[in-house]
Each structure stands twice: as structure tokens, then as C-alpha cells.
């Protein structure tokens, strides 16, 4: 399937629905390539870094100029973004993704037994990875805050998660008309709604109007959050980048004191004692977004959560999702739960991969193994699709889905 979805230097998330390169998709996809074609895994990550901005940001979409008519929105909706791209001619979106790309570079490197090749790869990517993580600490910080902000649901990768329903309620509409293309090969009931898309496109216009200056954007936008998964991914990425640096006998990219302060801010911002769960933080309305979703569980992968809290969160979330397949992205008792609609209930293998990695980090090794077994059984029965119905595992969303194939390979190899 990866060979089938191969666009040359990167892999399409799925052949029809997503014809370009996506940032965190490529991170997960590289882990699959690494099991049978290591140079191709490196190429996947380096192709993503080739779309990097002067400011260090690695965009969430790196457009393939051959397929611009097949996906909306294209780079024409991000005209100012193109001026930020370092390599002339690369076409990008204007937002990023949780930086699991850095962790993928660490893991892909570890998959190479030949130290010369491994170190050469890490040496090639290290400067871009340092700039990428530094971007969150500079351009993405509000005054007096340690944690970066996330500015668009597409950036979180959990587009229509109920975590972001305040945005839906804000009733934002874009100035420019548009036509959705995402429901030609996937059922409308499995995709975000029209009001979600109105808000997504309106936020794109706001980011463009502010020329991606976060302070300007925040002053005029109803959406600006500390995303629990992005923050955890940043911390995990910083630790993995330091591991790369140590292997190369280079100084750490992120100082130990900074990591300690970041972890404390993470707990203070995201941990919710009454719910015993990790939640997101709304920087506009100044409160925790107390909507239980699997994001707080996937966040355990970053290795930032305190182990006892992580264990409590896993127990609590399992209780809330009793009777569903693991890991249901929204508990079925939530009013916002929709079994078929994208990030509002279905099971995603990428979430399961993050959750299993997180469970290992908090000493729930047997639970991690059980989750992997359950995920592989799901694949065996229902195929390598985008996501699965949390009640019976029926396939949902796009077919021939690359990160589902890649993570299955990575699990099988282990």
C-alpha cells in the first residue's frame, strides 16, 4: 500500500482523498517505510523538511503541484504563506501539526544498524529539526506563557473534535466563497459539517490577514488554544532531539531547565483533578476545555505526564468508553459523540499507536501490548482504512490509508 501511495519523495495519506504531503502523516508513514526501505523512510522526512519556512515552521500540507485541482483548500487560499517558504517553488499551507516528525526522525534513525549511515541522516536533518522546535518557543508563544499556542483545528490534526466545538458555535464565515471537495469519495456523514468548514476557511483568512503573526491573529480570532497533544508532542520531540544531539556528541538542543519548566506548565495547564483527565486550554476564554477525548490519552506518548496521573487518566478514560473498541476518540456517553463522524468517536490507528507508546512510558506495559493486539485484530478484520466504527470496527473514511499501513508494519516488526 505504501508503494501504491508513493508520490516519489513522499507518500500520499490516501490516493484520492489526500493527494499531497501531510506533516504528521509523513512522520507516522516513515516508521512503516523504515521496516523495509530505510533510505525511503529518510526521504519521506527530508521531503517534508524541504517545505520548511524561514521561521522554522514545517507546514501541515506540502502541496504536490501535479494535483492542485484534486484537493481543497489549495495553496491559492494561502497566498501570503508562500512568501514564508525557504525553498522557492515549494507550495505550503500556513499552519503546522504536532511535531511528531522529530520523534519519527529519532526512531527512523534508530532503525539503521550502520552507525555511519544513521549519523549521516541525523546530521542532515538536525538543523531543520532544531529550527522547527524553536519556532514553537518563539513565534508561537503568547506573552508570559511557556506553552505554545495552536491556531487552527487542522493544525491539531483532530479537525472536528468536540474539543473545538466553541469554534463551531462562534458561527464564523469566510469572506470568499468556496466549494468542498472532500465528500466525493467519502460519505458526508463521516466528514466535518459545513459549519465546521466555514470556520476552518474563516480562520485561514484571519491567519493570512495577520500574516501569521500570532499576537495579531489572537486579537481577532475566537480560536487559540494550548492543545494537550501538541504540547506533549513538543516535549517528546525535544527529548528525542536531545537524544539525537547526544548520539552525535553535540550539545542538547533544549536545555534541561527548560524541559522541567515546560513539564510543570503542562501539568498546571492540562491536568484536571476533578475529571482525572488531561484537557486542552482555551486561551481566548481562559479556561480548560473539559471535554473528554482520547487526545489526553494520545498525549501520554510525549512522556511529559506524571506517571500516576497518566495511569489514572487511562483508567478513567477506559471506564468512560466501556463497551467500545479501543481507543474510541470520544466517549459514547458524551452528547457530542458521533460513531461515524471522523474525530468525534471513531477509532484511529495513529491514536492507538500514540496511546500504546504512552502506556509503555507510564509502566502499563501489558495494557500497551493489549492495545496493539486489539489494533492489529481490527486491521486484520476490517482493513487498512482511515478510521473504524468504535462499536463494531466497520471501516470509515478514506481507504488505502498510508499511516494505517505504516503503523501496522511498525507494530508487526516489533
Active site residue ranges: 159, 386
Residue with cell 483568512: 205
Helix residue ranges, H only, 306-363: 307-320, 349-361
Provide the 8-state DSSP code for 94: S
Least distance from ligand 2M8 to the Cβ atom of residue 267, Å:
26
Q: How far apart are CA 35 and CA 408, in angstroms?
A: 10
Chain residues 36-75 in contact with ligand 2M8, contact rule CB under 6 A: 60
CB 82 within 8 A of CB 91: yes
Cis-peptide into 207, omega within 30 deg: no
Task: Return the number of the residue (18 or 122) whose C-beta is nearest ligand 2M8.
Answer: 18
Residue 259 CB neighbour total at 10 angstroms:
16
Helix axes 38-49, 115-138, angle to 10 degrees: 30
Residue with cell 481543497: 72
Chain residues 311-340 in contact with ligand 2M8, contact rule CB under 6 A: none
User: Cβ neighbours of residue 274 under 8 Å, at least 6 residues apart?
Assistant: none
Cis-peptide into 17, omega within 30 deg: no
Binding to ligand 2M8 by residue 162, rule CB under 6 A?
no
Among 10, 22, 164, 212, binds ligand 2M8 (CB under 6 A): 22
Among 25, 46, 340, 389, binds ligand 2M8 (CB under 6 A): 25
Give me the residues paired with residue 157 across strands: none
Least distance from ligand 2M8 to the Cβ atom of residue 323, Å:
25
Task: Return the number of the residue (309 or 341) whose C-beta is nearest ligand 2M8.
Answer: 341
Chain residues 170-209 in contact with ligand 2M8, contact rule CB under 6 A: 182
Least distance from ligand 2M8 to the Cβ atom of residue 93, Å:
8
Among 2, 10, 12, 13, binds ligand 2M8 (CB under 6 A): 13
Least distance from ligand 2M8 to the Cβ atom of residue 276, Å:
27
Binding to ligand 2M8 by residue 154, rule CB under 6 A?
yes
Residues near ligand 2M8, by CB under 6 A? 13, 18, 22, 24-25, 60, 154, 157, 159, 182
Amino acid at each position: 500500500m505504501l508503494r501504491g501511495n508513493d508520490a516519489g519523495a513522499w507518500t500520499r495519506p490516501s490516493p484520492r482523498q489526500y493527494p499531497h504531503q501531510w506533516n504528521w502523516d509523513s512522520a507516522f508513514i516513515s516508521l512503516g517505510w523504515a521496516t523495509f526501505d530505510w533510505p525511503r523512510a529518510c526521504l519521506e522526512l527530508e521531503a517534508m523538511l524541504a517545505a520548511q519556512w524561514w521561521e522554522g515552521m514545517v507546514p501541515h500540507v506540502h502541496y504536490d503541484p501535479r494535483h492542485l485541482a484534486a484537493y481543497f483548500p489549495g495553496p491559492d487560499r494561502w497566498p501570503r504563506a508562500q512568501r514564508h517558504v525557504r525553498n522557492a517553488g515549494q507550495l505550503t499551507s500556513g499552519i503546522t501539526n504536532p511535531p511528531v516528525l522529530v520523534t519519527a526522525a529519532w526512531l527512523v534513525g534508530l532503525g539503521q544498524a550502520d552507525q555511519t549511515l544513521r549519523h549521516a541522516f541525523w546530521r542532515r536533518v538536525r538543523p531543520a529539526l532544531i529550527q522547527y522546535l524553536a519556532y514553537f518557543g518563539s513565534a508561537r508563544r503568547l506573552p508570559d506563557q511557556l506553552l505554545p499556542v495552536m491556531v487552527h483545528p487542522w493544525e491539531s490534526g483532530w479537525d472536528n473534535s468536540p474539543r473545538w466545538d466553541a469554534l463551531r458555535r462562534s458561527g464564523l464565515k469566510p469572506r470568499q466563497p468556496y466549494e468542498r471537495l472532500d465528500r466525493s469519495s467519502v460519505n458526508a456523514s463521516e466528514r466535518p459539517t459545513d459549519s465546521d468548514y466555514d470556520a476552518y476557511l474563516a480562520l485561514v483568512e484571519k491567519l493570512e490577514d495577520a500574516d501569521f503573526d500570532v499576537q495579531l491573529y489572537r486579537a481577532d480570532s475566537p480560536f487559540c488554544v494550548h492543545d494537550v497533544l501538541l504540547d506533549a508532542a513538543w516535549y517528546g520531540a525535544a527529548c528525542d532531539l536531545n537524544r539525537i544531539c547526544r548520539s552525535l556528541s553535540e550539545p542538547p538542543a533544549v536545555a534541561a531547565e527548560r524541559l522541567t519548566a515546560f513539564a510543570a506548565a503542562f501539568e498546571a495547564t492540562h491536568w484536571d483533578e476533578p475529571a482525572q483527565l488531561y484537557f486542552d486550554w482555551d486561551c481566548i476564554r481562559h479556561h480548560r476545555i473539559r471535554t473528554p477525548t482520547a487526545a489526553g490519552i494520545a498525549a501520554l506518548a510525549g512522556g511529559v505526564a506524571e506517571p500516576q496521573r497518566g495511569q489514572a487518566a487511562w483508567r478513567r478514560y477506559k471506564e468512560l468508553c466501556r463497551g467500545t473498541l479501543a481507543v474510541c476518540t470520544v466517549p459514547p456517553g458524551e452528547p457530542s459523540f458521533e460513531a461515524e463522524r471522523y474525530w468525534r468517536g471513531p477509532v484511529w490507528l495513529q491514536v492507538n499507536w500514540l496511546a500504546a507508546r504512552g502506556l509503555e512510558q507510564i509502566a502499563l506495559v501489558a495494557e500497551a501490548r493489549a492495545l496493539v493486539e486489539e489494533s492489529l485484530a481490527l486491521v486484520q478484520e476490517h482493513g487498512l482504512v482511515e478510521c473504524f466504527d468504535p462499536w463494531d470496527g466497520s471501516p470509515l473514511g478514506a481507504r488505502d490509508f498510508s499511516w494505517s499501513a505504516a503503523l501496522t508494519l511498525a507494530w508487526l516488526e516489533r
